[in-house]
Structure 1
């Protein structure tokens, strides 16, 4: 018999509670996996160690993820997808395009320059040689999502006459590449320290200057 209280089925409440518990357990596992992967890399990590750090049994771990590869893919894609959603919240009707791009560029570069983010990129690149699907999933969840969101923003700016762009997808890639120019490659190879705020701001201002020279209103397009 289904019990109804204040118009809500008790069974529905129970099911919602079960789903919440399942979600919390999954997040617990992912957080443990993140710590292990960052500390030991993909090859060095083991499901046993991940279970231990996550505070679950190995049997419980395998209920949620059937392999280290599937766990790694879930972790990296969820983190990158969440990052894209946070960074690329762009108001297409904001007429201050330079201001919007400056804010995006600063947030993007601050995040990209974090040691833990650089470590995650290196880890995915190393794992992708043996498991190409992991690299593809990482790329589709992160870079592709960010570029798609920025492209949609540029499409609206072109319609409004605020930018002059023939291929907005290419322009989105150009802007992000300009922001990390001279910095990301150095960090990937562990050359020097993480960028200072002054260096980040200088990189973004240089990116804006080059971008608007190529794509500003009235810029010639071939």
Structure 2
């Protein structure tokens, strides 16, 4: 083992031994924030672990204690960001009988978050990397879109059971509602083909999404 490799190994061991649970969490967040900045600026292929360590203000030895490769770091960054978004947005009370109000709140929060520049940038990064690393796309999808749809499905299931919505394929109904809300908006933003929606556009989009959703899935919808 070279002197340089030995020093790096020793540094990793020291960092792992000294990290308390709280300190480890803080350091990990620090690294993820540094990685986010570098990946946003350079993309997956253009980023390097050295540049990430420098931006995060940690040594490369410390960086490798937490993430053993650029791929592992990228996957953690993108999936944790998406999972946190899904968890925060899709907190739905199955017992809330005011379905229109619940969907309106969800749709408004959903579009507001989807339109944020940093969120659009993360999606672009994953799309750019998942052809080379398909698991990135799979992990991102499962942590975000699939999780959100699953949580909305549980709410819709409860409303169908209570007679507030018509019996239907509730997984597809959840997907329909979210697609009705964004209806081309995300495509526009991904291609940088227009500005992010303002409050009036979001309000209009959500109101129309709820209206169309009820036309298809309301208790009196034609079957």
* TM-score normalized with structure 2 length: 0.90
CA distance in 2, matches of 1:155, 1:199: 29
| Equivalent residues in 2 for 1:122-201, closer than 5 Å | 122-201=124-203
Q: Are 2:214 and 1:212 aligned?
A: yes
Question: TM-score if structure 1 supplies the norm length?
Answer: 0.90
What SS class does the counterpart of residue 89 from structure 1 fall into? Answer: coil
Match of 1:8 in 2: none
Partner residue, 2:11? none
Structure 1 segment 5-84 matched on structure 2, within 5 A:
18-84=20-86
Q: Secondary structure at the match of 2:20?
A: helix
Deviations 1:39-79 (A, max 9, x none): 11111111111100111001111111111110010011111
User: Displacement, 1:111?
Assistant: 0.5
> 2:7 is matched with which residue?
none
Distance 1:208 1:86 in 2: 21
What residue ranges of structure 2 are gaps of 5+ in the alignment? 1-16
2: CA distance, partners of 1:199 / 1:165: 31
RMSD: 1.2
Partner of 1:4: none
**Superposed displacement of residue 127, structure 1:** 0.2
Q: Measure how far apart 1:109 and its partner are.
A: 0.2
Quote the Cα distance in structure 1 between the aligned partners of 2:111 and 2:222.
Answer: 29
Partner of residue 116, structure 1 = 118
1:218 positional shift: 2.3
Structure 1, unaligned runs of 5 or more = 1-14
Query: Quick one: distance in 2 between partners of 1:165 and 1:51?
Result: 53
Q: What is the number of equivalent residue pairs in this alignment?
A: 206
* Equivalent residue, structure 2, for 1:85: 87
